[in-house]
Every structure is written in C-alpha cells, then in structure tokens.
Amino acid sequence: MSDRAKIIAFANQKGGVAKTTTTLNIAVAFAEQGHRVLCVDMDPQGNLTMSQGIDPDTLEKSMYDVLVHHIPIKEVIKKREIDLACASIDLAGAEIAMSTQIGRERSLEKAFVPILDDYDFICIDTPPSLGLLTINALTASDKVIVPVQCEYLSMRGLLQLQNTLLMVRENLNPNIEIEGIVPTLVDSRTVHAKEAIEILEENFGDRVFASRIRKTVRFAEAPVQGMSVLKYDPHGTAADAYRQLAKEVLENAER
Ligand SMILES: Nc1ncnc2c1ncn2[C@@H]1O[C@H](COP(=O)(O)OP(=O)(O)OP(=O)(O)O)[C@@H](O)[C@H]1O
Ligand SMILES: [Mg+2]
C-alpha cells in the first residue's frame, strides 16, 4: 500500500442505516490489523464522537472550526480506540457559514493535507443528508462505502446517492468510486430481508459486500459504554461481522 492515507466516506442520506456504527467498527477492525486509523465525525449529531465516550458539549474546538475557521485538524483529534476528529452540534451551522466561502466543497480535503502521511486509513462518518457536509466528505474521499438497511424503501434512496456521486465526480472529485454496499440491520429470519439482499445484488452485482451485518442488541449496548462492538464483545458474532467486512475492504485495497 502507498504511504498516503486511503480515505473512505460512509454515506447514505437515509437516517438510521448504521453509517456511524459501520464507520467506527470497520475503523477499529483496521486498527486491530495494525493500521493507523483516523475517524472523522462530520455529523452535527456527534454520534461517532459520543460512541467513543466523548461528550460533544465539552469540546472547545471541533470539526466546525476545522471546516469554517480552517484550524489544523490535529487540534480536534482525540485518541481513543482509534484517533477521532470530533464534532458537536455547532457543526449544524457549518453549511451556512461555509456557503459564501470560495472552495467551500474542498474545506475537508484541504484539512487532510498535513496528516495524509500520519494514517493508513481515514474513515469519515456523514450525516443523513446530501448537503455540503456530505459533499465535503465525498470530495475528500477515494472511496465511499454505503450501508443499506435491507428494506425496499431505503434501497430506492440509493439512486439519489448515485446522482450525487455523479455530480461530485464531474465537478469536484473524478476519482471517487463506490467501494461497496453493506447490508446492515439484517434480520435473517425474515424472507423480506433475503429478498431485499437479492434485489440489491441484482442491481449492484459484486459491489455488494459478501459480509452481512445482522441485527443484534450489542450494537445498541456498545456505544452507551463508549466502545466499539469489537471492544465491548470481542468474541461475539457482531464483532466478527465487522472484522470480516474490514478484511474484504483490505483485500480490495491490495488488488
Ligand atoms: N446491526 C445492528 N443491529 C442492531 N442495531 C443496530 C445495528 N447497527 C446499528 N444499530 C443501531 O441502530 C441505530 C442506528 O445506527 P447508526 O447510528 O449507526 O445509524 P446512522 O446511519 O449513523 O444514523 P444517522 O443517519 O442518524 O446518523 C443505533 O441505535 C445503533 O445502535
Ligand atoms: Mg450516524
């Protein structure tokens, strides 16, 4: 692998499809394999920040200051299971604050320049919208991983995401590609989940990861303890699912 960090955005404008859960647990799985990993919280909800036991309300500086005031990203990184560039609710005002700035879509890309040699992977969690925060993430990224909850309605939203990616590719970042689509919150007992995955595979072929992330209460319990599932229940099937997914991503990177 090259020395420069590989940058992956986790995106889907639909809420609650496990973007944050997937960002954190893949990142921790990369770290377990000896990689240097930075997670970046680009969601004003600050769920990724909280899921590592950090209270967003106590932050003096956060991604808002990086994006709007261009302070060095190192100043908002905290070291937990992985390194984490933190966000708080003030990030909700960043889209408006950036809207009049020249180069507003490239603010995050620029912030990464000084740290590209410090990490092997940078994993970006995005909010459930396709606004300027998500555009910044897609512009800064090499790849996008799309968590999809396996139900028909959430899959329809994938078209909208693909249109946004086309726009980003044409205007801002010609190189961004979909690394893969992850079926999340899979309830393997239902026929419906099976059918949904089949439809996904008919439409996206081998871009659908082989790994499946099943529904389990572990994923709700771990963030409350400020931990990844890999730390909270290291030998459980939930942790293994994300290790398997990370392995698929690492194998793609070597190809
Ligand atoms: N495999 C799973 N099984 C059960 N619960 C899960 C699973 N993955 C995630 N969850 C839970 O589902 C909820 C939504 O997950 P998460 O916050 O990762 O989604 P999100 O896409 O980031 O949401 P948002 O769009 O609000 O940012 C959380 O409460 C999380 O703990
Ligand atoms: Mg989230």
- Are the beta carbons of 245 and 33 closer than 8 angstroms? no
User: Where in the chain are the domains?
Assistant: 6-254
pLDDT tens-digit map of 155-189: 778 889 999 999 999 999 999 999 999 999 998 78
**What pLDDT is stored for residue 192 in this prediction?**
82
CA atoms within 13 A on the CB side of 31: 20
**Under CATH, which number does the domain 6-254 receive?**
3.40.50.300
pLDDT of 250 reads: 96
Question: Distance (Å, rounded) from C-alpha 145 to C-alpha 134?
Answer: 13
Residue of minimum CA distance from atom 8 in ligand 1: 18
15 lines ligand 1 (CB under 6 A): yes
Instruction: Name residue 84's beta-bridge partners.
Output: 39, 78
**144 Cα distance to chain centroid:** 8
Which amino acid residue places its CA nearest to atom 2 of ligand 1? 215
Residue type, 64: Y
Ligand 1 atom nearest to 222, measured from its CA: 31
- What is the value of pTM for the model shown? 0.97
Choose the residue to mutate in 40, 213, 216, 219 for probing ligand 1, maximizing ligand atoms within 8 Å of C-beta. 219
pLDDT in tens, 1-55: 568 999 999 999 999 999 999 999 999 999 999 999 999 999 999 999 999 999 9
Residues 6+ apart with CB under 8 A from 183: 148, 150, 196, 197, 200, 208, 209, 212, 213
